[in-house]
Amino acid sequence: MNLLKEKILEHLKSNPGKFVSGARLSVSFGLTRAAVWKQVQALRQEGYAISAAPRKGYRLEEEPDRLDEKTLKLHKFLYYSAVESTNATIRALAEQGSAGGTVVIAEEQLQGRGRRGRYWFSPPGKGLWFSLLLRPTGIAPSAAAPITLVAAAALGQALRRETGLGVTLKWPNDLLLNGKKIGGILTELKGEPDRVEYLIIGAGLNINQSETDFPPELHKTAGSLSPAAGCVFDRTALVLPLIAGLKEACSIFFQQGFSRFHGAWIELNETLGKEVTITWPGGTVRGRALDLDETGAVLLRDRAGKVHRINYGEIV
């Protein structure tokens, strides 16, 4: 935030419930009245509700919910108020040599990315958008593939534990609540055929959105935690155990493989035991999802009794 905006905000905050005149603000900060108005407009665009009354001035009515930057920095997370995509930011950092374990978290993503090149809606004040950089040693890209499922299971378990809500999983990377998607994982990898150089796990979680906060095209499919819980969550307090759980699960996975997470998937999933259609670029198959194998692939039996092993795609 620029210094003038910050000073005006501090001034309004130190006069709770009171109007502060535009004249006083302009004298205090050596600004014209028009320049004060411009900074107030900029604060409004960041979500601060500031009322204005003729001859009275400006009054701060409500502050937007913001992640607590100080707490996040204490945990060594790299916090940004807005980025195009936390995956893109962390990729640039990875290319500059950042260490495994680096976490980038943003209040807002301007071009949040979903799977298959989709857009991920990431407004400020409502959700959690973060990416984790991993540099596993001695692992091939093919062996690292189930990490997306591991991340989904770890975040699903941590959300259940922290919120008490019945979050479930939909293969391969969706987190659901009451049938609506509340989160997803986007994994990116750089490596050679036999060696991962780095992995990026990007997670998007809808936390405090109300139904009307989503654009119309997402109304049917997207959900968030807050309406179901009947409360607004402290996103900073929530993200700490989520990231801790995610990091721990990833390190267990690198030592022990996916089998350690099979049980969690069976417990949380919405997929197995059901008739589903799975599509992937170039194909589609319908049948009963039987199980996940040791690589996280779905075993699906079609009507003719043939069992397919599907390691990439999505359930429609």
Instruction: List residues binding ligand BTN (CB under 6 A).
Output: 85-87, 109, 112-115, 118, 120, 122, 129-131, 173-174, 184-186, 202-204
Q: Take residue 308 and report the two structure tokens written for it.
A: 């397919």
| Closest CB 252 distance from ligand BTN, rounded Å | 22
CA nearest 147: which of 180, 172, 118?
A: 172
| Residue with Cβ nearer ligand BTN (39 or 86) | 86
User: For ligand BTN, which is the closer residue by CB, 8 or 235?
Assistant: 235
113 bridge partner residues: 119
User: Residue 160 CB, nearest distance to ligand BTN (Å)?
Assistant: 19
Shortest Å distance, C-beta 294 to ligand BTN: 24
- By beta-carbon proximity to ligand BTN, the closer residue of 162 and 174 is 174
* Cβ 125 to ligand BTN shortest distance, Å: 15
Residue 61's Cα: distance from chain center in Å?
Answer: 28
DSSP 154: H
- Residue 203 CA, chain-centre distance (Å), reads 4
Question: Residue 63 or residue 65: which is nearer to ligand BTN going by CB?
Answer: 65
- Maximum separation of any 2 CA atoms in the chain, in Å: 81
How far is it, in rounded angstroms, from Cα 213 to Cα 10?
Answer: 28
Radius of gyration of the chain (CA): 23
Which of 106/264 has CB closer to ligand BTN?
A: 106
Chain centroid to CA 291: 27
Residue whose Cβ sits closest to ligand BTN: 184
- Rounded to the nearest whole angstrom, what is the least distance from the CB of residue 13 to ligand BTN in the complex? 30
**DSSP string of 265-308, one letter each residue:** HHHHBSSTTSEEEEEETTEEEEEEEEEE-TTSPEEEE-TTSPEE
Q: Are 263 and 272 in contact (CB under 8 A)?
A: no
Shortest gap between Cβ of 205 and ligand BTN (angstroms)?
8
Measured from the CB atom, is 204 or 287 closer to ligand BTN? 204
